[in-house]
A = this chain, B = another copy of it.
């Protein structure tokens, strides 16, 4: 049973993949689920509010946040893209969001960070919350910025944030790399719920994956969050191996945790 932890919960990025997957699930976590995106969203259902907003628009974000007690921030760019959109949505957008949270007294944020903050670690390394960031591109860099921003708003204003370094959250793992990085939608919801309900969240970094046998992550510094995955990519392992070729270990996309992201953009 999910405990409704806040009256009004804002979820940004509602039109994106994860936003759509969490929309129905997060209704159990609140009385009112406010949904936002720069793009079109399905109409509001009972218990929902739908607000179209551009994260780069500071005033719009301020209005959006007013009256919320907590935020699940999926909004912004979630793939490797040129500097322009990354800057607008993920850097200016993140700043606008935290300023709005500060102004309106929001005290807890679940920030969708990414495994791409750590994408230049090797697939034979295990990282934890203290490993220094090694972003694999502009997207990962913008998420590292968001993490540092949230640290500032915690140290300065006491706004608690869980920086969830989400792996690969899809209906199922698509390739061999995702056997390590995969997170089921249900586990993602479990993790968000844990972040919203643990008594003291502080400023925390947690890797977001299911209970996969092959893993690059050590979450022992985030035990106070209480996340326990219940799914695993192992179920899909044989099928994935059967339909995908042997990895070429001379390919940076195979060597590094960031996978193909380490090769996008100018070479």
Contacts and interface: CB of A to CB of B under 8 A. Distances in A.
Given A122-B202, A141-B152, A152-B136, A225 B214 contact: yes
Interface string A114-150: 0000001011111000101111111011001100110
Interface stretch (A9-17, A34-42, A193-201): A193-201
A217 B213 contact: no
Contact of A226 (B203, B214, B247, B266): B214
Nearest to A131: B130
**What is the oligomeric copy number?**
6
Contact of A135 (B1, B92, B152, B249): B152
A255 B151 CA distance: 17
A216 interface: yes
Given A132-B130, A136-B152, A148-B141, A199 B176 contact: yes
B194 A213 contact: yes
B151 A177 contact: no
A184 interface: no
B148 A133 contact: yes
A140 to B, nearest CB: 8
Interface in A186-217: 194, 197-204, 212-217
Closest 7 CB pairs of A and B: A124-B202, A214-B226, A123-B200, A213-B226, A120-B155, A215-B223, A144-B148
Interface of A: 1, 3, 83, 87, 91-92, 95, 99, 102, 107, 120, 122-126, 130, 132-138, 140-141, 144-145, 148-149, 151-152, 155-156, 158, 160, 176-177, 179-180, 194, 197-204, 212-218, 220-228, 237-238, 241, 247, 249, 254-255, 262, 266
24 contacts: A87-B91, A87-B92, A102-B266, A120-B156, A124-B202, A124-B224, A126-B220, A126-B221, A132-B132, A133-B151, A134-B152, A134-B155, A135-B151, A135-B152, A136-B156, A177-B199, A179-B199, A180-B224, A200-B247, A200-B249, A212-B226, A213-B227, A214-B223, A216-B224
